[in-house]
Amino acid sequence: MRDIREKLLKKIHELFDAGVVDRVVGWKAGEFCYDVTPALFNAGNIDEILYDAFCGPNQSKFLVKGAEGGEKKILALLKPCDTYSYNQLITEHRIDPEKIYALGIPCTGMVDINKIRALGISGILGIEEDGENLKIETLYGTESCKKADVLLERCLVCKGKNHVAGDELLIPDEEAPEVPKCAERMTEVEKLEAMSPEERFNWWRSQLSKCIRCNACRNACPACTCRTCVFDNPSSGVSAKVNTNDFEENMFHIIRAFHVAGRCTDCGECSRVCPQNIPLHLLNRKFIKDIDEFYGEYQAGAEPNVRGPLISYTEQDVEPSIVMTRG
Amino acid sequence: MLKIALAGIDRLFAAIAASKKLYLPIENAGEVEFSEYSEGAKVRLDALQTVKSAKDAFFPFTENMMQFHTDGKNISVEAAKRVDEDFVVFGVRACDARSFSILDKVFLADPPDSFYAARRAHGIIVGLACHRPEETCFCTNFGIDPTKPETDVTAWIEDGVLYWEAQTEKGKALTEEISAFLEASDEKAVEEQRERTKKILERLPLANLDLSYFKTHPELEIFKRPEWKELSSHCLGCGTCTFVCPTCQCYDIRDYNTGHGIVRYRCWDSCMYSDFTLMAAVNSRKSQVERFRQRFMHKLVYNPINHEGEFGCVGCGRCLRKCPISMNIVKVAKTLGGEQA
Ligand code: SF4
Ligand code: SF4
Ligand code: SF4
Ligand code: SF4
C-alpha cells in the first residue's frame, strides 16, 4: 500500500499543478493507526493524505454536497467498489460528473477494526501488514491475526478489482492486485431463507432490538440522498428518533430497505457504520437476490444512466406474488 | 472487604433479582448492553463497556410519561408511574459512574425531573473496577480513578474472584441483604490489581490531554475558530456520538397514537439532528457545522462555565470508537488547542 500511496500523492500533485482540480476528498490520519477520518484537502496539505488498509469509508456520497461551490473540479479518489455508488449517484442526478474528476485507485481489502477487537484484542497501539497477516501492538503485548479474517464485510464479497466509472485510473486495472474473494455473497441470506418464518422474525427482532436510531446507516448510505428524508419531516407522522413502540421502531429498517431496493449497490456502508453491528446489508441483499431471481442478474451502479428492473416495466416481467409464495 | 468466587456468581445475581430488578451488562445478538437480568442471560462482566452507557438505567432511551384515553367525548389522562422500588445496576465502570454526577446537576436542579429523581433515589449502583483499559480510555484526565469507581458498592474481579466493598449507606444495606453469599477477604489481591492498573493507565496514549485552552480562553473566541468547518466537513449528522455518550442529556417529547389513545413519551434527542428543538419553534442551527460545534462546545466550554469548571465528558472513549467517520472529542480538543504547552 505504501507504493500506491506514493504514486497517488504524485498523481494528485500533477492534477493540482495542471489546474484540473482545486480540492480533493481524501483520508486523514487520526489519533491511532486505524481511526482515519475522511477529509477535504487543498493544494496546501496534499501530502497529509493517507491511503492504507483503514480507508474503508465510501466517499462517493460526500460528493453530493462536496462537488458544489468550488472554482475547479473536485478530485474524488474511488476504490473499485466506490465506483458503483458513484455511477448510481450519477444515474439519480444526485451528482454532476462535470464538476468532479474521478480517479480510480486500487485496493487490496479494507480492515474492520471492530473485527480485530471482536477477536479479544484490546488496547491497540499499532497495526502493521505482514504478508497475509496483521501484526498488532497492544498495551498488553503483541498479537497477530489473518487479514482475511478481519476484512470489512463488503471486502469479503469484493466485486473485483475493476473500476466501473472514473476519468482516469491510477494504475490500469489489469495491473492491479487481485482482491481475494473470501465469501459467497448470498450465503448468509440463504441461511436466513432456510429459517422458519418464526425463527427469522425472532432473529431480526433480536438484531433490530439493538438499534439506537442513530441514523448512521441512513446518513452514510449513498442511496439515501433524499433532500429531506421522510423520517426527518416533522409533518410525516414518523420520526427519526426512537419510538415507545418497538414494532414501530423496527419499521424504520423495513421502510429504508424497501426504499433503496434496486438502487443499493451492496457497498456495505450501512453495516460498517452501525454502532450496534446490526447486519443491515442482509436486508438489502435479500432484495438483490430476489430482484436477480425475478428479473435476471442486475448490479446497481454497474453502469451509469440505466433504468433498474424495479423502475422499468416490460411485458415479460414476472408477477412476484405468483412465482413466489411467501413463506 | 468481602469476596465471592465468580464461578458461583449466578447465585448472587439470582438472589438480588429475587427481590429487586437487576441490570447487568448482558449480551444480545453479539452486543453488550445494561439489560434486566433473567436466568440464563449471557452476563458479560468481562466487557469493558456497553454500547449505550449505564445512563440508560436512569435516563432511558425511551420512557412513557403519560397516556391519554378517549371514551366518547371524555378524555382521561393517566400519568406514568414513577419508579418506586429499589433496583440494582451492577457492573458500572468509573467513567459511567462519574457521568451520573454530571447528569444530576441538570436533572436534579430545581425543578427536579421527577422521572430521573425517582430512579436516582431507588437505584443502587455496583461499580466494577477496570484492569484492562482500552487505548481509547481517557477518564483519568477528568480526575476519575478507574480502579475504584464512585459507586454504592465497588467490585473488583481478579483471578476468578469478585471482591466487594460497600462505599455508601445504600451499598451497606445491599451488602447486608446478600451477606450469606459473601465471605471476608483481605485486600491484597485488590491492592495489587490497582497498582498494576495504574501503571497501565500511565501508558494510555490519551493519558495526558491538555484541555486547559477551553477554560482559559473566552467562549466567543473558541466559538469563532475557523477550524470548526473543517472538523465537521464530513460529519454525517447522525446521532451516534450523542446516543453512546454517558453525559449527553437532551430529549424530545413525542406522542404515539396507539389507535385507542395517545402515549406521550420522551426519547433521547441529538443536537446533531436537523429537527432538534423544533418542538420549541425552530432549530436555530441551520447547518451541520453549527450543530457539530454545539455538541463539542457544550462538553468543553459551556459545561465548565455552568458547572464550576467540570467538563461534560468523562473520557469513556465511546465516541472515539463508534463515530462512523472517526471524528470525536479528542480530535476536536487537540485541533483547537488541547496540545498547548
Ligand atoms: S446505524 Fe445501526 S443503530 Fe444506527 S440507526 Fe442504523 S441500524 Fe440503528
Ligand atoms: S461526529 Fe460522528 S458520530 Fe457524531 S454526528 Fe458526526 S458523524 Fe455522527
Ligand atoms: S464525549 Fe465521547 S468520550 Fe466524552 S463522555 Fe461522551 S462519548 Fe465518552
Ligand atoms: S474510560 Fe476509564 S473508567 Fe471508563 S472503561 Fe476506560 S478505564 Fe474504565
* Matching residue, cell 468466587: B5
Q: Is the pLDDT of residue A141 over 70?
A: yes
Residue A240 near residue A231, CB atoms below 8 Å: yes
Q: Find, among B327, B334, B129, the residue nearest to B232 by Cα.
A: B327
| Residue of A61, A68, A139, A252 to mutate when probing chain B, most B C-beta within 10 A | A139
* Matching residue, cell 414501530: A248
User: Do β-strands B21-28 and B2-5 pair in parallel, antiparallel, or remain unpaired?
Assistant: unpaired
Q: Can you give the pLDDT at residue B341?
A: 39
Q: How far apart are CA B53 and CA A63, in angstroms?
A: 34
Bridge partners of residue A142, in order along the sequence:
A137
Higher pLDDT, B337 or B87: B87
Question: Which residue's alpha carbon is at the smallest distance from atom 1 of ligand 3?
Answer: B313
Question: Which residue's alpha carbon is at the smallest distance from atom 4 of ligand 3?
Answer: B313
Q: Can you give the pLDDT at residue B260?
A: 83
**Angle at Cα B279 formed by Cα B275 and Cα B283, nearest 5°?**
45
CA of B73 to nearest chain A CA: how many angstroms apart?
24
Q: Cβ of B237 under 8 Å from any chain A Cβ?
A: yes
Residue A85 near residue A61, CB atoms below 8 Å: yes
**CB neighbourhood size of A92 (10 A):** 15
**Angle at Cα B48 formed by Cα B46 and Cα B52, nearest 5°?**
120
Q: Which atom of ligand 4 is nearest to the CA of B201?
A: 7
Higher pLDDT, A236 or A207: A207
Q: How far apart are CA B164 and CA B152, in angstroms?
A: 11
Alpha-helix runs per DSSP H in chain A? 2-17, 63-66, 80-91, 113-118, 153-156, 187-193, 197-208, 216-220, 246-260, 269-273, 281-295, 320-323
> Does the distance separating the beta carbons of B326 and A30 come in below 8 Å?
yes
Which chain B residues contact residue A32 at CB under 8 A?
Answer: 135-136, 205
Q: Find, among A105, A225, A93, A226, the residue nearest to A165 by Cα.
A: A105
Round the average pLDDT of chain B to a whole number and report it: 95
| Residue of A215, A221, A233, A245 to mutate when probing chain B, most B C-beta within 10 A | A215
Round the average pLDDT of chain A to a whole number and report it: 93
Q: Can you give the pLDDT at residue B259?
A: 84
Residue B187 near residue B156, CB atoms below 8 Å: no
* B185 class by beta-carbon count within 10 Å (0-12 exposed, 13-18 middle, 19+ buried): middle
Residues 6 or more apart in contact with residue B154 via CB below 8 angstroms? B126, B127, B128, B129, B148, B164, B165, B167
- Among A24-28, A31-35, A242-246, B210-214, the minimum mean pLDDT is found in A242-246
Residue B204 near residue B139, CB atoms below 8 Å: no
Rg (CA), chain B: 21
Q: Can you give the pLDDT at residue B338?
A: 62
Complex-level ipTM: 0.94
Write out the E strands in chain B: 2-5, 21-28, 31-36, 62-71, 74-79, 87-92, 123-128, 153-158, 161-166, 183-184, 251-257, 261-268
CB-side exposure of B243: number of CA atoms within 13 Å? 28
**CB neighbourhood size of A208 (10 A):** 21
Does A275 sit behind a cis peptide bond, omega within 30 degrees of 0 on the bond before it? no
Residues 6 or more apart in contact with residue B258 via CB below 8 angstroms? A245
Q: Can you give the pLDDT at residue A315?
A: 85
Q: Report which residue type is found at B331.
A: K
Bridge partners of residue B164, in order along the sequence:
B2, B155
3-class secondary structure, A170: coil
3-class secondary structure, A169: strand
User: CA-nearest residue of chain B to A55?
Assistant: B325
3-class secondary structure, A313: coil
Say what the pTM is.
0.95
List C-alpha distances in Å: B139 to B92, B133, B208. 14, 10, 10
Q: How far apart are CA B141 and CA B208, in angstroms?
A: 7
The ligand whose atoms approach the alpha carbon of B244 most closely is: 3
- Span A102-108, average pLDDT: 96
Q: Can you give the pLDDT at residue A326?
A: 55
For residue B149, the CA-to-ligand 4 centroid distance in Å is 9
Q: How far apart are CA B301 and CA A113, in angstroms?
A: 31
Q: Can you give the pLDDT at residue A325?
A: 65
Share of chain B above pLDDT 90, in %: 91
Instruction: Please write the tens of the pLDDT for every residue from A195-218.
Output: 999 999 999 999 999 999 999 999
Cβ-Cβ contacts under 8 Å between A and B: the total is 141
Instruction: Please write the tens of the pLDDT for every residue from A68-79.
Output: 888 999 999 999
Q: Can you give the pLDDT at residue B339?
A: 54
Q: Which atom of ligand 3 is nearest to the CA of B136?
A: 3
Q: Find, among A57, A6, A4, the residue nearest to A28 by Cα.
A: A57
Is the Cα torsion angle B17, B20, B24, B28 positive or negative in sign?
A: positive
Going from N- to C-terminal start, the domains of chain B cover 2-203, 213-337
Q: Is the pLDDT of residue A321 over 50?
A: yes
Which chain B residues contact residue A121 at CB under 8 A?
Answer: none
- Span B242-255, average pLDDT: 95
Q: Find, among B328, B162, B92, B287, the residue nearest to A36 by Cα.
A: B328
Q: In what order do the strands lie in the sheet with A133-138?
A: A124-130, A133-138, A141-146
Q: Is the pLDDT of residue A327 over 50?
A: no
Instruction: Please write the tens of the pLDDT for every residue from A159-191.
Output: 999 999 999 999 999 999 888 788 999 999 999
Alpha-helix runs per DSSP H in A30-166? 63-66, 80-91, 113-118, 153-156
- Span A267-281, average pLDDT: 96
User: CA-nearest residue of chain A to B61?
Assistant: A242
Q: Can you give the pLDDT at residue B278?
A: 79
Q: How far apart are CA B276 and CA A301, in angstroms?
A: 34
**Cell triple for A110:** 479494507
Provide the pLDDT confidence category of residue A138 given band limits of 50, 70 and 90. Answer: very high
Which chain B residues contact residue A218 at CB under 8 A?
Answer: 238
* B9 class by beta-carbon count within 10 Å (0-12 exposed, 13-18 middle, 19+ buried): middle
Backbone angles phi, psi at A103, to 5 degrees: -105, 120
Q: Cβ of B274 under 8 Å from any chain A Cβ?
A: yes
Q: Cβ of B265 under 8 Å from any chain A Cβ?
A: yes
Residue B203 near residue B225, CB atoms below 8 Å: no
Q: Report which residue type is found at B104.
A: D
- Span A220-246, average pLDDT: 89
List C-alpha distances in Å: A278 to A111, A121, A272, B224. 18, 21, 9, 38
Q: Can you give the pLDDT at residue B20?
A: 97
Q: Find, among B104, B128, B318, B301, the residue nearest to B215 by Cα.
A: B301
